[in-house]
């Protein structure tokens, strides 16, 4: 669904921001907070990856605020595409998901900030200004985790099985945990069922699981614990 693109402010010096989220209430709330700042302006909105890419091409925002979970698309993959095509656009990823799991993936995809939605009203402006200053914005907890991870990696400790998954493998693993069948995953990610089955085989291998039933059980258990 195409959404209206808001007109740029007459003051062209304002920082232009595109909001990508499939919840109108979230978009409205973010717009209100951001537009309250004299030097910031929400120049457009989109509710899916296709419209986000179109709006990015047309509006050339300075920053894109992207929800990690979008209709028929994924915020991590969208972040990669925006950064690849528009390297001057800084991406801030928003999510309701556990930041200890998703923040690193978002930053590796090219995002400049990762912000939990339950803290967005208090911290979105701070995140924007941090990114504008050339810095990375994450919570203090995640910052400490990254430092511990660096120390752990240097000590030779290997990654956990979940951390070893590629972004696409992780995305399919999460959809399996949400109860999606292979055909549903294929439609959602625009892949063939055969390709999805290949990924399922990789997941079983990487997670040391013997059967599709074990993979399903493990994915459901992990997804439920992650969403708490």
- The answer to whether residue 127 scores a pLDDT higher than 50 is yes
Determine contact, residues 226/181, Cβ cutoff 8 Å. no
Residue range(s) defining the domain that contains residue 88: 15-145
Give me the pLDDT at residue 15, please: 96
41 and 110 belong to one structural domain: yes
Are 181 and 221 in a shared domain? yes
pLDDT, residue 137, reads 94
Residue 47 has pLDDT above 70, yes or no: yes
Whether residue 49 is contained in a domain is answered as: yes
Q: Which two tokens stand for residue 43?
A: 């120049």
> CB of 31 within 8 A of CB of 20?
no
Pick the closest to residue 19 from 101, 168, 122, 128 (CA basis): 128
> Residues 6 or more apart from 192 whose CB is under 8 A from it?
186
Asked if the structure places residue 5 within a domain, the reply is no
Same domain, 180 and 98: no
Which value, in Å, is the radius of gyration of the alpha carbons in the chain?
19
Q: Are residues 87 and 177 in the same domain?
A: no
Average model confidence (pLDDT) across the chain: 86
**Contact (Cβ atoms closer than 8 angstroms) between residue 208 and residue 200:** no
Q: Pick the more confident residue, 178 or 113.
A: 113
Per-residue pLDDT band at 91 (split at 50, 70, 90): very high
Count of domains forming the chain: 2
Higher pLDDT, 13 or 73: 13
Provide, rounded to the nearest whole percent, the portion of the chain with pLDDT above 70: 86
Nearest to 90 by CA among 169, 16, 168, 8: 16
Its pTM stands at: 0.73
């Amino acid at each position: 669904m195409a959404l209206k693109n808001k007109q740029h402010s007459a003051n062209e010096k304002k920082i232009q921001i595109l909001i990508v989220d499939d919840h109108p209430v979230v978009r409205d709330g973010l717009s209100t907070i951001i537009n309250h700042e004299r030097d910031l302006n929400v120049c457009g909105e989109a509710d899916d990856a296709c419209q986000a890419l179109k709006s990015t091409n047309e509006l050339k925002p300075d920053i894109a605020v992207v929800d990690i979970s979008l209709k028929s698309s994924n915020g991590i993959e969208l972040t990669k595409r925006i950064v690849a095509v528009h390297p001057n656009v800084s991406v801030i990823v928003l999510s309701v998901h556990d930041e200890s799991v998703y923040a690193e993936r978002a930053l590796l995809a090219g995002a400049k900030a990762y912000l939990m939605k339950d803290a967005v009203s208090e911290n979105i402006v701070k995140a924007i200004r941090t990114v504008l200053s050339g810095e990375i914005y994450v919570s203090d907890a995640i910052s400490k985790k990254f430092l511990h991870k660096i120390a752990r990696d240097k000590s030779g400790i290997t990654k956990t099985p979940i951390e070893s998954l590629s972004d696409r493998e992780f995305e399919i693993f999460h959809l399996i945990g949400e109860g999606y069948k292979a055909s549903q995953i294929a439609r959602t990610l625009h892949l063939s069922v055969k390709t999805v089955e290949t990924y399922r085989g990789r997941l079983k291998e990487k997670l040391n699981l013997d059967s599709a039933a074990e993979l399903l059980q493990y994915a459901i258990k992990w997804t439920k614990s992650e969403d708490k």
